Amino acid sequence: MKVTFLLPFYVQKVARMLIKEGYKCYLVGGALRDTVIGRIPYDYDLATDAKPDDMLNIFPKSVSTGARFGMVSALVPDKNGEIFEVQVTTFRSEEQYIDGRWPSKVAFIDDLDKDLGRRDFTFNAMAADLSLVDLSGEDTDLELELYDPFEGVSDLKQKVVKAVGTPLERFKEDGLRAFKACRLASQLGFTLEQATFDAIEASIPIASQVSMERIRDEFMKMLVKSPMPSIGIDLMRETGLLKIFMPELLEGYGVEQKHFHADDVYRHSLKTCDAAPDNIKLAALLHDIGKPRKDMGNGHFYGHDVEGAKMTRQIMKRLKFSNQDVERVVILVKNHMFYYPHIDENTPEEEARKIEEHRWTDAAVRRFISRVGEENIDDLFALRIADASANPKSSFKPEEI
Q: What's the pLDDT tens digit per position in 20-35?
A: 999 999 999 999 999 9
- Greater confidence (220 vs 342) lies with 220
Which tens digit of pLDDT belongs to each residue from 338-384?
A: 765 555 566 566 655 655 555 666 676 677 777 777 888 999 999 99
Show the CA angle centred on residue 56, arms to residues 51 and 57, nearest 5°: 100
- 1-158 and 163-245 share one CATH topology? no
Q: Which of 2-6, 126-130, 360-364, 393-397 has the highest mean pLDDT?
A: 126-130
Minimal CA–CA distance to 395: which of 334, 337, 329, 335? 337
In DSSP terms, 27 is beta-bridged to 46, 128
Q: What is the pLDDT, as a whole number, of residue 372?
A: 79
Q: What is the pLDDT, as a whole number, of residue 329?
A: 98
Q: What is the pLDDT, as a whole number, of residue 371?
A: 78
Q: What is the pLDDT, as a whole number, of residue 300?
A: 63
Q: What is the pLDDT, as a whole number, of residue 48?
A: 96
Percent of the chain whose predicted confidence (pLDDT) is above 70: 85
pLDDT at 401 over 70: no
Instruction: Kindly report the number of other CB atoms within 10 A of residue 24's CB atom.
Output: 17
Q: What is the pLDDT, as a whole number, of residue 263?
A: 84
pTM given for the model: 0.87
Average pLDDT over residues 387-399: 68
Residues 6+ apart with CB under 8 A from 193: 155, 160, 161, 162, 163
Rg of the chain taking only CA atoms, in angstroms: 25
DSSP 289-350: TTGGGG--SSS--TTHHHHHHHHHHHHHHHTT--HHHHHHHHHHHHTTT-------TTS-HH
pLDDT at 394 over 60: no
pLDDT at 100 over 60: no
What CATH architecture is 250-400?
Answer: Orthogonal Bundle (1.10)
Mean confidence (pLDDT) of the chain: 88
Q: Which CATH number fits domain 163-245: 3.40.50.1000, 3.90.550.10, 1.10.110.30, 1.10.3720.10?
A: 1.10.110.30
Residue 362 CA to residue 233 CA, distance in Å, equals 41
Instruction: Kindly report the number of other CB atoms within 10 A of residue 138's CB atom.
Output: 12
- Greater confidence (293 vs 181) lies with 181
Q: Residue 59 to residues 18, 92, 288: CA-CA distances in angstroms?
A: 9, 20, 52
Which tens digit of pLDDT belongs to each residue from 156-187?
A: 999 999 999 999 999 999 999 999 999 999 99
Backbone φ and ψ of 85, nearest 5°: -110, 130
Q: Residue 285 to residues 250, 326, 333: CA-CA distances in angstroms?
A: 12, 14, 10
By the 10 Å C-beta count (0-12 exposed, 13-18 middle, 19+ buried), 276 is classed as: buried
* Per-residue burial over 32-56, b = 16 or more CB atoms within 10 Å of its CB, e = otherwise: bbbbbeeeebeebbbbbbbbbebbb
Q: What is the pLDDT, as a whole number, of residue 355?
A: 53
CATH class, 1-158 region: alpha beta
Average pLDDT over residues 285-307: 82
Q: What is the pLDDT, as a whole number, of residue 282?
A: 99
Average pLDDT over residues 317-342: 88
By the 10 Å C-beta count (0-12 exposed, 13-18 middle, 19+ buried), 82 is classed as: exposed
pLDDT at 155 over 80: yes
Q: Residue 85 to residues 59, 61, 73: CA-CA distances in angstroms?
A: 11, 10, 6
Which tens digit of pLDDT belongs to each residue from 195-209?
A: 999 999 999 999 999
Q: What is the pLDDT, as a whole number, of residue 260?
A: 66
Residue 301 CA to residue 265 CA, distance in Å, equals 11
Domain residue spans in the chain? 1-158, 163-245, 250-400
Residues 6+ apart with CB under 8 A from 284: 269, 272, 273, 275, 276, 383, 386, 387
- Greater confidence (216 vs 340) lies with 216
